[in-house]
Amino acid sequence: MNLFFLLFPVLGYLFGSLPFSIWITRFVKGVDVRDSGSGHATTTNTIRQAGFGWGALVLILDIAKGFIPTYLAVSRDEIPTYIVVLTATLAVVGHCWTLFAQFRGGMGLATTGGAFLAVNPLAFLISLGLLILMVLVIRHSARASVFTGILVAPVLWLFNVRDISFWVALGAGIVIAVRFLVDWNRKYRELWLDRKRT
């Protein structure tokens, strides 16, 4: 194997580790975004503390963290599939357990979305639809995300999406499911459901 290929997974982790929500909220409000809401470095916590505009910027940047390294890997024909999958998965790992913020990062959904956009936009749309469906049915975002992480690869298979995005879904889906387990029993105000859990 060409050792040069291993630079792409490393790049994925480093890109994923860029804690934009922490940096932006600290710059705008002088606070740590992880000190409120779910306690994670996420778009929703950025919105809570810095407003929708800054939250939208964080969302775009978090998507880019998954898109850029994955796109760089997938655009090189000579790179094996497993290297692309590792790159995408480690970008999500980096977002969740960031090297630059005491390994306390976000939850990985936006970064996973960016990786999907790089390999197959249809996979992105299917996974987003699955997440929305799970949130509407389960009415708890963390539990819905766990089930989405578990189900996204089988759902892509059922939709006959069996290219590299299936393997990205398998790798990143496991990371998402594991990451959201920490909030399985969390009771806090859901930003998009606008209600308190009981």
Q: What is the pLDDT of residue 194?
A: 42
CA distances from 13 to 8, 16, 45, 69 (A): 9, 5, 22, 9
Cβ proximity of 163 and 116 under 8 Å: no
Domain count, the chain: 1
Cα separation of 172 and 16, whole Å? 12
Phi-psi region of 39 (alpha: psi -120 to 50; beta: other; left: phi over 0): left
What is the arithmetic mean of pLDDT over 54-60?
A: 97
pLDDT digits (tens, 9 = 90+) for 1-45: 688 899 999 999 999 999 999 999 999 999 999 987 778 999 999
Q: Which domain holds residue 10?
A: 3-183
DSSP per residue, 155-190: HHHHTT--SHHHHHHHHHHHHHHHHHGGGTT----B
Q: What is the pLDDT of residue 160?
A: 97
Task: Give the mean pLDDT of the chain.
Answer: 92
195 within domain boundaries: no
Q: Is this model's pTM higher than 0.75 or not?
A: yes
Confidence of residue 187 (pLDDT cuts 50, 70, 90): confident
191 within domain boundaries: no
What is the arithmetic mean of pLDDT over 178-196?
A: 70
Dihedral over Cα of 172, 173, 174, 179: its sign: positive
pLDDT digits (tens, 9 = 90+) for 110-153: 999 999 999 999 999 999 999 999 999 998 989 999 999 999 99
86 is written with which tokens?
Answer: 């590792």
178 within domain boundaries: yes
Q: Which amino acid is at 80?
A: P
194 within domain boundaries: no
pLDDT at 197 > cutoff 50 = no
Give the number of residues written for the chain: 198
